[in-house]
Chains A and B, each alone.
Chain A
Amino acid sequence: MKIFSPASVNLTERMNDLEPSWLVSECIAGNHAAIEMLVRQYETGVFKFALSIVGNEADASEIAQETFIAALKSLKTYQEKKTFKAWLYTIALNLSRSHLRKRKIIERLKSTVSGIFRVETQKQATPEDRVIQTEKETAVWDELNKLDERHRTAIVLRYFHELSISEIAEIMSLNEGTVHSRLHTARERLKDALQSLHGE
């Protein structure tokens, strides 16, 4: 699909404000002040990004830390083909996915164990669940959690992190057409969930 992308035109310009290349060079040179500046600049974004994927603050914090550790270790391999933010978020995405895989394995093990020993486990209400206030938000939140990770991540990057299609494509290592297609599908499902709420 050929997509006109005005976002990509001024993408470099937008990201340059956030990503002074001298900062990266200084970090490679081992300037601790520069490293701290870099971490402070992106830590909230990376944390929220991880949180939006793994859904748990403690895990998100751990992933954020691991993201910076991994990034600093391989900073020399960073090439400016990707924006620094996109590169960083890609690392965070990979770490989050790996975390989810591990969690899935553990949950599967737990359910097997509880099945064997007939342990009754109750689904506990997470603090996040209590934040939801309106019926509409509940419907959207529930539907969002039913989406698979690929669609959910695209939606989160678009509507929580307010990233452009080209940025999402960079982070998720996809082409822009695929990103749009995923967003389209996910939006349709969320829209249907909202409409079914009112019996439309």
Chain B
Amino acid sequence: MQITHEEARRLIQLKADNILHPANEEKLDAHIKACMECRKYSNAVKDTESVLRQTLHQQWDIRPLPLSMDAIYAKANFKTGWSLLVTTRTALLGIVFAMFAFITWQSLSAGNASYQIPSGAVPLIPTPSTQYTVTNTLQNDCKEIRYIIQDGDTLDGIARQFLVSRESILLANQLTDETLIPSRELILTICGSTPTSTLHPPTRTITPVSGTLSTTPG
């Protein structure tokens, strides 16, 4: 059975895509043998295909560098997706718990310290601008301390800092006037004083001073 030129061209195109039915292939071959124009068309299609393949391969036949597996794993979160999420959250929870535990422990130990340490061991007194030393613990929750006079100190200032009266300072130190000599020691007797500012760190050396007990009330 004869086919038209148009039909022949359609079959040539199907053949190019490798989807031509074998029965139609026979018809096409017979037509091409007899028809010069369709033969020319078929050759032109084949030539196009050949040049096309050659061009494309010249363009893109490049061997790429292997892809980085680490980058792929990192971005894909593959397999470790869930476990990574769980690990991250666990780590975060752990850190929060550790911080909470640390803060709790800190506050507890601070609370305990205030109960456990004898009242005489740590001077619970306002810290003046300079050194002082607890020298003795007296009766009725009284403490005797040594204070080294600093430049600029005044009797009123020291009295205010240690919550004692200026008279008691004068009396305890057998002073007749209010002139304070820097670097000299001042004995202060503090009774029932309550801290009003920063506590002094409990690292002071406690050196009892014998025979300097003062009975002066605070």
* Residues of A participating in the B interface, judged by any CB pair closer than 8 Å: 3-7, 29-30, 32, 35-36, 39-40, 43-44, 47-48, 51-52, 57, 60-61, 64-65, 68-69, 72-73, 128, 131-133, 136-137, 140-141, 144, 155-156, 158-160, 164-165, 176, 179-180, 183-184, 187, 190-191, 194-195
Q: Judging by beta carbons under 8 Å apart, are B56 and A52 in contact?
A: yes
Q: Judging by beta carbons under 8 Å apart, are A140 and B17 in contact?
A: no
- B-side interface residues, number (CB < 8 Å): 41
How far does the Cβ of A162 sit from chain B's closest Cβ, in whole Å?
8
* B64 and chain A: residue at smallest CB distance: A47
Q: Shortest 10 CB-CB distances between A and B: which pairs?
A: A30-B79, A4-B21, A160-B56, A72-B76, A47-B64, A191-B48, A137-B55, A72-B78, A69-B76, A69-B75
Chosen A-B contacts, 12 in total, with CB atoms closer than 8 Å, are: A44-B63, A48-B64, A65-B71, A65-B72, A132-B55, A136-B51, A137-B51, A140-B48, A156-B56, A184-B13, A194-B51, A195-B44
- Is the contact region of chain B dominated by helix, strand, or loop, or is it mixed? helix
A35 to B78, CA, bound (A): 9
- Give per-residue flags for B19-45: 1 if the beta carbon is below 8 A from chain A beta carbons, else 0: 111000000000000000000000011
Q: Is B178 an interface residue (CB 8 A)?
A: no
* Residues of B participating in the A interface, judged by any CB pair closer than 8 Å: 13-14, 16-21, 44-45, 47-49, 51-69, 71-73, 75-80
- Is the contact region of chain A dominated by helix, strand, or loop, or is it mixed? helix
Q: Judging by beta carbons under 8 Å apart, are A187 and B49 in contact?
A: yes
A68 to B71, CA, bound (A): 10
Q: Which residues of A contact B59 (CB under 8 A)?
A: 52, 128, 131-132, 141
Q: Which residues of A contact B51 (CB under 8 A)?
A: 136-137, 140, 194
Q: Judging by beta carbons under 8 Å apart, are B58 and A131 in contact?
A: yes
Select one of A4, A36, A51, A65 contacting B62, CB under 8 A. Answer: A51
A65 to B13, CA, bound (A): 36
Q: Which residues of B contact A133 (CB under 8 A)?
A: 58
Q: Judging by beta carbons under 8 Å apart, are B72 and A39 in contact?
A: yes
